[in-house]
């Protein structure tokens, strides 16, 4: 994914606006011929100094971002290109705060970029998702903590221990990369099938997964995960490295609205919820 040997290499390459546009055009258009996103016609005039295109058939305008995951982004192609480089070259992942500093944008814009790129990676290239490299150069996946939480009304969260979810109350399932990011997704219910399907989508087999004693996780071993659990009901919250304090902490931040700017709580948004936590 990264044809560049170093950050300097990538920055030099993308510092030329024209070359940057050509790079994206070569990714987006077959044989580099601009294809209209409105009518599908091949062939368009470059307008606005090459920043946009005008279709030779329907005469509508489009840009390299139209109909892409970056359509709504105000970031420049250069910022996006360097952002992709940073997000895919760092095995340990990078916080939206430091991404924002590196590409010169607000933290929310950086977070959105990160979210979209991570979603794309989950679908297209999960091998680029955060991993950890040991001193011997061995790549090991970061332990995950998993847990569910329930949404109440439009903006209130409750933990599953407080009130059991009933009826159609949305269930949010979270997977924390220890020390980093939470992947969260709304699932139809908290059954074994719904939860393990999400795990199978985003967690590599062989990964260490920590959870509470919920029956929904009973067969993770059979599915190839190194699963360990603590028995909250018997008052056991920590067993060596095994605990779910990180993801619990995340829910409690969420419930207190600390991450309010990110959480406009609708199902649509929650589907794309990936949050950084300081745990
Ligand atoms: Zn057209």
DSSP letters spanning 95-130: -HHHHHHHHTS-HHHHHHHHHHHHHHHHHH-GGGS-
According to CATH, the topology of domain 141-276 is Nucleotidyltransferase; domain 5 (3.30.420)
Distance 16 CA to ligand 1 centre (A): 28
Confidence (pLDDT) at 77: 93
Cα(80) to centroid of ligand 1, in Å? 26
pTM above 0.75, yes or no: no
Distance 27 CA to ligand 1 centre (A): 19
> Separation of 33 CA from ligand 1 center, angstroms?
13
pLDDT value of residue 188: 83
> Which pair of tokens denotes residue 107?
């933290």
Between CA 20 and CA 95 the distance in angstroms is 25
Domain boundaries, the chain: 141-276
pLDDT digits (tens, 9 = 90+) for 187-213: 888 899 999 988 887 787 778 899 999
Ligand 1 center to 177 CA (angstroms):
44
* Distance (Å) from CA 61 to ligand 1 centroid: 8
Note the pLDDT of residue 215.
87
Residue 59 Cα to ligand 1 middle (Å): 6
**pLDDT value at residue 122:** 66
Query: For the chain, which ranges sit under pLDDT 70?
Result: 1-2, 90-93, 122-141, 151-169, 179-180, 255-279
pLDDT at 200: 85
Q: What is the pLDDT of residue 279?
A: 30
Helix and strand counts by DSSP (H, E) for the chain: 8, 14
Ligand 1 centroid from CA 38, angstroms: 5
Q: How many CA atoms lie within 13 A of 46 on its CB side?
A: 10
For ligand 1, the distance from its centroid to the CA atom of residue 46, given in whole angstroms, is 13
Name 61's bridge partners: 54
pLDDT of residue 136: 55
DSSP 161: T
pLDDT attached to residue 28: 86
pLDDT at 33: 87
**Ligand 1 ion: residues within 5 Å (CB):** 36, 38-39, 41, 55, 57-58
């Amino acid at each position: 994914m990264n044809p560049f040997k170093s950050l300097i290499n990538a920055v030099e390459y993308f510092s030329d606006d024209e070359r940057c546009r050509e790079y994206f055009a070569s990714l987006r258009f077959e044989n580099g011929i601009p294809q209209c996103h409105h009518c599908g016609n091949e062939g368009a005039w470059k307008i606005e100094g090459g920043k946009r295109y005008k279709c030779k058939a329907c005469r509508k305008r489009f840009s390299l971002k139209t109909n892409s995951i970056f359509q709504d982004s105000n970031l420049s192609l250069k910022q996006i290109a360097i952002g992709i480089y940073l997000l895919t070259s760092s095995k340990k992942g990078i916080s939206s705060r430091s991404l924002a500093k590196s590409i010169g944008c607000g933290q929310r814009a950086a977070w959105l970029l990160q979210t979209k790129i991570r979603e794309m990676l989950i679908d297209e290239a999960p091998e680029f998702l955060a991993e950890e490299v040991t001193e011997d150069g061995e790549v090991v996946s970061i332990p995950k903590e998993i847990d569910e939480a329930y949404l109440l009304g439009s903006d209130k969260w409750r933990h599953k221990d407080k009130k059991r979810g009933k009826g159609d109350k949305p269930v949010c399932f979270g997977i924390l990369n220890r020390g980093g990011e939470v992947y969260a997704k709304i699932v139809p219910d908290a059954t074994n099938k719904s939860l393990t399907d999400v795990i199978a989508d985003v967690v590599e087999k062989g990964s260490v997964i920590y959870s509470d004693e919920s029956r929904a996780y009973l067969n993770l071993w059979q599915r190839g995960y190194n699963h360990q659990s603590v028995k909250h009901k018997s008052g056991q919250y920590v067993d060596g490295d095994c605990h779910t304090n990180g993801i619990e902490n995340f829910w409690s931040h969420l419930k207190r609205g600390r991450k309010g700017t990110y959480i406009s709580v609708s199902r649509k948004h929650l589907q794309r919820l990936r949050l950084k936590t300081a745990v």
